[in-house]
A and B are shown apart, each in its own frame.
Chain A
Amino acid sequence: MIELRNIEKSFDDKSVIADVSAVMKPGQCNLIIGASGSGKTVLMKCMVGLFEPDKGHVLYDGQDFTAMNNDEKTEIRKEIGMLFQGSALFDSLTVEQNIMFPLNMFTKWPIKKKLDRVNEVLARVNLVDTNKKYPGELSGGMKKRVGIARAIVLNPKYLFCDEPNSGLDPQTSLVIDHLIKEITLEYNIITVVNTHDMNSVMEIGNYILYMYKGKKEWEGNNREIIFSKNQRLNDFIFASEFLKDAKDMRMLEEKGKIANERDMDELLDKDSPTLIPPADTE
């Protein structure tokens, strides 16, 4: 379990993250969503230790990551895999060498075992016969898949994905989303995805944290988001008329599925404390 407790972060006296708390569980795709500049990337970087939060704590299975020294952090980081927005593959290394890099650095396995593991994860992300290719020879979607393969090669407990669908076409985005979801369930890991792709929200969002101007505005899952009355969230998620219509249709569909009227009331009540009247929105 990853627990965020009252995280705060500022740059040059400008508050970027303000008092954000959340709990992220194993076997779930935990999504951090929000508009550009809402602080979701900074929050993710605070979680993995690339930024030090000014206040608050990040706990990995009860261990306070923010209070650890460098050596202790390194031990936790060995259990973290991360897919970067631009994939962050090493240009001068082949696909095989990229994926093998963490194995070379942190294991003393014989070369045969390492190669088997590389081929295993490449097969897992549906990329066979690309071992000898360089990142420059791959498409955007393939680079993302190599990035995922490298992130999972050491069997991490925590997988972080920073905007995994940026720059990808909708179909490839869907493939990446499904891959992330499958890997999360298969390895029972905690996956944290930073995105503003609405398809991802609906497809894989087991837990969704909506950030607005550095603050936690809403949290819930991809089913609850349909019924949310939070105006800012609705304006962000269902920005176009098309998406608003899609939401209405999905709502009707979901209502049909709910046999018990009390369940429906519970869903609607969940948003009540964070309900923001339209007059407050910008």
Chain B
Amino acid sequence: MTIFTDIGRYLLMIKGMFSKPENGKMYWKEFVHQCVEIGFGSLGIVAIISVFIGAVSTIQTAYQLASPLIPLSTIGQIVRDTVILEFAPTLVCIVLAGVAGSRIASELGNMRISEQIDALEIMGVNTKTYLILPKVLAALLMIPMLVVIAMLLGIWGGRMAGVSAGIISGEIYDKGLLEFFKPYNVIFALIKSYVFAFIISSIAAFYGYYVRGGALEIGRSSTKAVIVSCILILFADYLLSALLLQN
């Protein structure tokens, strides 16, 4: 029963986000603040993870392509497609569920426990619109950008690892990147990143906004938000792949 109650409350929360802002300027300010928090706040970890994912992909692909019949440029192709299709959108978003998602959940949870949300309600502010909508919109803007950055850094990290380990030359790697390139893969990755961004921000906001109890509950709800987001990201990943990746 709890799961149905939670789904109902989640849908009501989403519906409640869409009301007329009391003061557009204040909402814009909050939106920009959230863009900075979600975008720049997560940029460092996204950059580090992306570079290493690309590097490891190159080394492992080279290790498995033992046959001399397969051209070395294939490494570039495989790294490109793996990073674009899966690593950049899915893995980065799972990391972002931990970084940005837990931050959103704990921020709202703290506001709920310390009665700051009640204070806003009393003032006549629609708290779902003021506190949740800017976070969701900021995530929808910034997370796809982070995914694009992750794609570029992942591919660059793969090149750097390949060249520095003497596995592949830069020219052959670059040649591989251009071979059989499907622009649709990038569109597919962006579609995934929008879906994941919505999951990360709205699920984290839901668990933070409706937290009850004390400080301990904030930690618990934050952890729960990350777990549920990760599961939903993986489920959505499977669903989108099954629906959108058909030859």
Contact = CB atoms under 8 A, between A and B. Distances in A.
B61 interface: no
B116 A82 contact: no
A105 B114 contact: no
A239 to B, nearest CB: 28
A60 interface: no
Given A88-B115, A104-B23, 20 more contacts: A48-B122, A50-B122, A74-B22, A74-B124, A77-B121, A77-B122, A77-B123, A82-B122, A84-B119, A85-B115, A88-B114, A88-B118, A88-B119, A90-B116, A91-B110, A105-B23, A105-B125, A106-B23, A106-B123, A160-B122
Interface in B116-149: 116, 118-119, 121-126
Contacts of A86: 114-115
B178 interface: no
How would you classify the secondary structure of chain A's contact residues: helix, strand, loop or mixed?
A: mixed
Contacts of A160: 122
17 contacts: A48-B122, A49-B121, A50-B121, A73-B124, A74-B22, A74-B124, A77-B121, A77-B124, A84-B118, A88-B115, A88-B116, A88-B119, A91-B114, A104-B25, A105-B26, A105-B123, A160-B122
Contacts of A82: 119, 122
A106 B116 contact: no
A91 B115 CA distance: 12
B123 to A, nearest CB: 5
A192 to B, nearest CB: 12
A80 B22 contact: no
A65 to B, nearest CB: 13
A111 to B, nearest CB: 12
B119 A106 contact: no
A250 interface: no
A102 interface: yes
Interface residues of B, number: 17
Contacts of A91: 110, 114, 116
Given A48-B122, A74-B124, A82-B122, A106 B22 contact: yes
Interface of B: 19, 22-23, 25-26, 110, 114-116, 118-119, 121-126
Given A104-B23, A104-B26, A50 B118 contact: yes
A78 B23 contact: no
A85 B119 CA distance: 11
A168 B118 CA distance: 22
A88 B118 CA distance: 8
Contacts of A101: 123
B23 A80 contact: no
A160 B119 CA distance: 11
Contacts of A70: 19, 126
A215 B114 CA distance: 28
Nearest to A162: B115
Contacts of B26: 104-105
Contacts of B123: 77-78, 101-102, 105-106
A126 to B, nearest CB: 22
A165 B125 CA distance: 26
A80 B122 contact: yes
Contact of B22 (A49, A85, A105): A105
